Structure 1
Amino acid sequence: MLYSVYVHLGDAQHAHGVTIPDFPGCFSAADDWAELPAQVQEAVEVYCEDEDLIIPPPTSLEELATRSEHLGGLWLLVDIHLERVDPKAVRLNIS
């Protein structure tokens, strides 16, 4: 499922920081843009590990982009594999 993540741009000395608004307090970082999706997936998995919570549906990017705490960075859509996050969810393909 595609979730919007907010990227705080890094530089030569600092990693790109990422916050995931739909998972409050969940954050990650990566030195390279290509690493960000995997880091976000891992952060969400750890965030949900010991929690008995309901996985929230993605908030629209239009709504998130209007919030004052999300100024000066960039947005990235990340496909978070919820079957890895929610142990109760089971994917079943029948043919």
Structure 2
Amino acid sequence: MTHYIGIVHKDAGSSYGISFPDLPGCFSAGEDLIELERNAIEAIELFLDDQDAADFPARDMNEIARSREADGDDHMLMAIPYIRSGGRAVRVNVSIDAHMLAAIDAAAKRRKLSRSAFLVSAAQNELAGVH
């Protein structure tokens, strides 16, 4: 999993904004930091959707922080996870408590998802820190 470093800005009376020095032209916004993170994840996915992610290597947060120190503007950095999806499906064998599996199946059914789709969605949310 790659983490792209976003530069977060917040002006008085405005939403939070985020831009990515390693992804030119990729930006997003959100009313609070939780919404900002969710929207930033989506912005990166859309930006890299038809791109080769290898063409956009993610730099270390410390390197970006050092390059921003000279600017002197008020900002913070946020690490946003990126996992390329759309690869081939792979069958796996996992062990899960029977009661937990029943709860997963019931939740998947309520959302009209297969067990696999539900588990992938839950894993993506967990990896992205969306709770």
TM-score class, shorter-chain normalisation, is: 0.7 to 0.9
Cα shift at 1:94 = 3.2
Correspondence 1:27-38 to 2 at 5 A: 27-38=27-38
**TM value normalised by structure 1:** 0.73
Select the structure of larger CA radius of gyration.
Answer: 2
Contact 1:41 1:81 in 2 (8 A): no
Contact 1:9 1:74 in 2 (8 A): no
- Structure 1 residues 44 and 70: CA distance shift in structure 2, 3 A: farther
Using the TM superposition, name which of 68-77 and 34-43 deviates more.
Answer: 68-77
Structure (1 or 2) with the greater helix fraction = 2
Which of structure 1's runs of 4+ aligned residues deviate more than 6 A?
none
Give per-residue Cα distances to partners, 1:7-58, cap 9 Å, x unaligned: 01233x2111100122111001111111112101111122123x33334332
The alignment yields a C-alpha RMSD, in angstroms, of: 2.3
The residue aligned with 2:92 is 94
Between 1 and 2, higher relative CO (CA 8 Å, sep ≥ 6) is seen in 1
The residue aligned with 1:65 is 65
* Gap regions ≥5 residues in structure 1: none
Give the count of matched residue pairs: 89
For the residues of structure 1 that align with 2:37 and 2:64, how far apart are their CA atoms?
19
The one-letter code sitting in structure 2 at the alignment partner of 1:82 is: R
For the residues of structure 1 that align with 2:19 and 2:6, how far apart are their CA atoms?
6
Cα shift at 1:70 = 7.5
For the residues of structure 2 that align with 1:43 and 1:32, how far apart are their CA atoms?
16
